A and B are shown apart, each in its own frame.
Chain A
Amino acid sequence: NAGVTQTPKFQVLKTGQSMTLQCAQDMNHNSMYWYRQDPGMGLRLIYYSASEGTTDKGEVPNGYNVSRLNKREFSLRLESAAPSQTSVYFCACAARDNSPLHFGNGTRLTVT
C-alpha cells in the first residue's frame, strides 16, 4: 500500500503560471485535505473534502481551487501562481468519525 501519494514532489513556476497538484490515496478513506506549510510555520488548511462530491474552504482558500475527482483523488489547482504561494503542500486523508489524518510526503513549490 502506498498510502497517500502526491505528485509532483518538486515544482518551480513563474508568476502567473498555472498548475495542478495531484493527490491520490489507496486507503479507501472518505475525507481528504490540502494544507500548506510555509518555512518555520505550522500547517494551514486550504480546502478539505469530507466525502466524494463535496468540498469546503479551510483557513486560507484564496488563490486555490480543488476538485474531488472520485473517492481516491483530490487535486489542488493554482490558476495564476504568485510568489506568496511558495510553500510545501501536504495532502492528507482520514476515515470518518474520530480517525486520524494520514499525510503524503508533500510537494515543494517555488514561485519566482
Chain B
Amino acid sequence: DAKTTQPPSMDCAEGRAANLPCNHSTISGNEYVYWYRQIHSQGPQYIIHGLKNNETNEMASLIITEDRKSSTLILPHATLRDTAVYYCSLKTSYDKVIFGPGTSLSVIP
C-alpha cells in the first residue's frame, strides 16, 4: 500500500496562508489524495480531494505535483479556528483508505 508522510507540526501566523505538505511518493495512478482535519478528539472532517489536477473549494486549495508524488494543502487566510491536526490520506480503487501521521497546525495570533 502507498503511504504518506507529513511533518509532525507547523506554525502559521493568523491571516497568513498555511501551506501543509504531504509526501506520497509511492502513490498509484488511480489513487486519490484526500485531506481531513481533526479538532480535539472529534471525528475527522473532510476538506478537499484530488487525483492529478489542482482543486479549490470554499475551505482550501490542493496543489498536486505533476508526478503526483507530493501535494500541498493551502489554507489561504488562516484563523485561530484552523488550529487542528491535518491528515493527508490515499484512497485506492478498492476503497481502502490509509491515513498519514498528520500535521498539528498551530495558528498564532
The answer on a CB contact under 8 Å between B98 and A90 is no
CA distance A27 to B80 in the complex (A): 31
Give every chain A residue within 8 A of B102 (Cβ-Cβ).
42
> For B1, B87, B97, which residue has the most chain A Cβ atoms within 10 angstroms?
B97
The answer on a CB contact under 8 Å between B43 and A58 is no
Q: Say whether, besides A42-B102, A43-B87, A50-B94, A103 and B49 are in contact (CB < 8 Å).
A: no
Chain B CB within 8 A of A94 CB: yes
Nearest CB in chain A to that of B1: its residue:
A59
Chain B CB within 8 A of A102 CB: yes
CA distance A95 to B81 in the complex (A): 29
Chain A CB within 8 A of B44 CB: yes
Chain B CB within 8 A of A111 CB: no
The answer on a CB contact under 8 Å between B41 and A101 is no
* Chain B residues within 8 Å of chain A by Cβ, number: 23
The answer on a CB contact under 8 Å between B98 and A101 is no
Give every chain A residue within 8 A of B45 (Cβ-Cβ).
103
Chain B CB within 8 A of A98 CB: yes
Nearest CB in chain B to that of A30: its residue:
B95
Chain A CB within 8 A of B10 CB: no
CA distance A108 to B98 in the complex (A): 21
> For A42, A44, A105, A106, which residue has the most chain B Cβ atoms within 10 angstroms?
A42
Q: Mark B76-106 against chain A: 1 for CB-CB distance below 8 A, else 0.
A: 0000000000010001001111111110000
Nearest CB in chain A to that of B85: its residue:
A42
The answer on a CB contact under 8 Å between A94 and B49 is no
Q: What's the minimum C-beta distance from A2 to chain B, rounded to whole angstroms?
A: 13
Please tell me which one of the listed residues B44, B96, B99 contacts residue A56 in the complex, with CB atoms under 8 A apart.
B96
The answer on a CB contact under 8 Å between B51 and A98 is yes
Please tell me which one of the listed residues B42, B46, B51 contacts residue A101 in the complex, with CB atoms under 8 A apart.
B46
> For B36, B44, B94, which residue has the most chain A Cβ atoms within 10 angstroms?
B44
CA distance A56 to B1 in the complex (A): 14
A interface residue numbers (CB < 8 A to B): 4, 30-31, 33, 35, 41-45, 48, 50, 56, 58-59, 88, 90, 92, 94, 96, 98, 100-106, 108
